[in-house]
A and B are shown apart, each in its own frame.
Chain A
Amino acid sequence: MTVKYTEDHEWVSVEGDTAIVGITSYAAEQLGDVVFVELPEEGRNSNKGDELAVVESVKAASDVYAPVSGIVKEANSELEGAPETVNQDPEGKGWFVKMLITDPTQLDAMMDADAYKAFCADL
């Protein structure tokens, strides 16, 4: 299992041809209290950069973009009743979707944990 990160503060945990996608602790902290997450329906085919989900804090709605191209296999239905999970455990139980990756080469350009940490330190 490898975990990669995007400049949009998403994490992608890859195992075989499946990616679990969520937002990073940094993103969750910046958003503040999450009160609603709109997730895609299963089977949706998303290109890298497409709007994948919307996360709403008290203040505002923010788009979450597909970090890689793929097909949505499962959305985290736990977030419907407990959106605060995104703040409590953003890189664990607060995952958004599981995707079937259609272009694994896209992962190569993404940051590893150390690179992402350095990226955030510069912000």
Chain B
Amino acid sequence: MSDHPPLAQTPLHDVHVRLGAKMVGFAGYDMPIQFEGVMAEHKWTREHCGLFDVSHMGPCLLTLPGGPRADADAHFEIAKLIETLVPGDIQGLEPGQARLTVLLNEEGGILDDLIITRPYEGDQQGRLYIVVNGATKEDDWALMKEKLGDLADLERLDNRILVALQGPDAEAVVTERFPEAAYLGFMESRRMVCKGLTCIVSRCGYTGEDGFEILVPASGAGYVVELLDDERVKPIGLGARDSLRLEAGLCLYGHDLDPQKTPVEASLTWLISKSRREAADFPGATKILDQIANGAPIRRVGIQPMDRAPAREGTEIYAGDQKIGEITSGGFGPTVQGPVAMGYVDREFAKTGTELTLMVRGKPRAAKVAKLPFVPHNYKR
């Protein structure tokens, strides 16, 4: 009955199966949802170091047609091109600096969230390292090709291994293998070589913890297996990845973000860089700048249920008898040891502490607007 193509496999697929992972289809890939259990994996990541296979995502290189160059102007040329699609200040990135931004449609709606990095290496200017979401990568790359045409070359790198190492022990684990990684602060990136493998090491992640994302050649699966031999490192599935990012207040595209939501509505106004506000030259700028000046009709907020019942995606939010919004991500936070959620509410109910009612399976349950994140970030600034 299924019209879906068969699930793709990452280069680490055999490793997951050998480790006894429970596998599920996600973003078109057969991915591990859990190894020993979501609760244990979540806690291990907050206390030690979790290793996540995120090779289903969409790493790519966007390069000027002549190839990378050694002059600083090359960066501005490529940055101006991508800035036609995103509201972040890409021209202003320092060498080796990474920035979270969003792809926007002409109405200011969010087509994806992505991280754009300016290469650190002096001879790699005029090139951007971009990582988009797995479920949206084909559309994102089609959009980039359509909008940029012959002005830039897009090279997809999603046949490689992309792993995230997250948690307080990640720094020790990674710097023992990549000594230069010690120089990286949060949202900084460099090309590094380990055991003959040329990798891109970036200090970022999706858990709220300090950590790294490392792009490894497809032939490097054995190297990742060696990492898992380290007693501080355990493999972590998509289940804990979701509970970790939710506690950290981070958005999941397709749930907390979608083409109907603007960055202002999504409480991501900080992504609209000052220089870009002044230039007003990004897609949907009229609507987004109006919302920055006058407020957006709805806002993404943290939501803390007051009892033990988790409120899942789709749960309706009420203030009195009036429906004022919906949960977009919700579940149980193992570190918080209670239910946590995010959702959109009408602007007048977005203030921290506002009392709400969640309709969970027809039963009203008390909740309040909570400050995000639920668990403090431990980024290395």
Contact = CB atoms under 8 A, between A and B. Distances in A.
Interface of A: 32-33, 35-36, 38, 54, 56-61, 80, 83
Contacts of A60: 312
Nearest to A29: B37
Contact of B334 (A56, A58, A80): A58
Contact of A38 (B37, B42, B361): B361
A38 B309 contact: yes
B95 interface: no
B66 to A, nearest CB: 48
Interface string B297-310: 00000000000111
B312 A35 contact: no
B331 interface: yes
Contact of A83 (B34, B308, B312): B308
Contacts of B39: 32-33, 58
A58 B38 contact: yes
B339 interface: yes
B300 to A, nearest CB: 22
B332 interface: yes
**Residue among A32, A33, A35, A80 having the largest count of chain B Cβ atoms under 10 Å:** A35
A46 to B, nearest CB: 15
A54 B339 CA distance: 15
A58 B339 contact: no
Nearest to A33: B39
Interface string B91-121: 0000000000000000000000000000000
B308 A59 contact: no
A62 to B, nearest CB: 11
A108 B243 CA distance: 42
A59 B33 contact: yes
11 contacts: A32-B39, A33-B37, A35-B310, A36-B309, A38-B309, A56-B309, A56-B310, A59-B33, A59-B38, A59-B331, A60-B312
Contact of A35 (B239, B240, B332): B332
Contacts of B33: 59
Contact of A59 (B239, B309, B339, B361): B239
A94 to B, nearest CB: 16
Nearest to B24: A59
Contacts of A56: 309-310, 332
A32 B243 CA distance: 14
Contacts of B309: 36, 38, 56
Nearest to B33: A59
A61 B310 contact: yes
A58 B361 contact: no
A83 B310 CA distance: 13
A32 B42 CA distance: 13
Interface in B10-39: 33-34, 37-39
A36 B308 contact: yes
A44 B339 CA distance: 27
Nearest to A54: B361
Nearest to A56: B310
Contacts of A36: 308-310, 332, 339
Contact of B34 (A32, A35, A38, A61): A32
B332 A61 contact: no
Contacts of A57: 38, 332
B308 A32 contact: no
A80 B308 contact: yes
Most buried by B among A35, A54, A56, A58: A58
B308 A58 contact: no
Nearest to B338: A35
Interface string B309-349: 11010000000000000000001101000010000000000
A15 B42 CA distance: 42
Given A58-B243, A58-B331, A61-B312, A32 B339 contact: no
Contacts of A83: 308
A76 B331 CA distance: 23
A28 B339 CA distance: 20
Contacts of A59: 33-34, 38, 239, 242, 331
Nearest to A30: B22
Interface in B35-88: 37-39, 42
Nearest to B334: A58
Contact of B38 (A32, A54, A61, A80): A32
> Considering the complex of A and B, which 10 residue pairs feature the smallest CB-CB distances, nearest first?
A33-B39, A35-B332, A58-B38, A58-B332, A59-B239, A36-B308, A56-B310, A36-B309, A32-B37, A58-B243
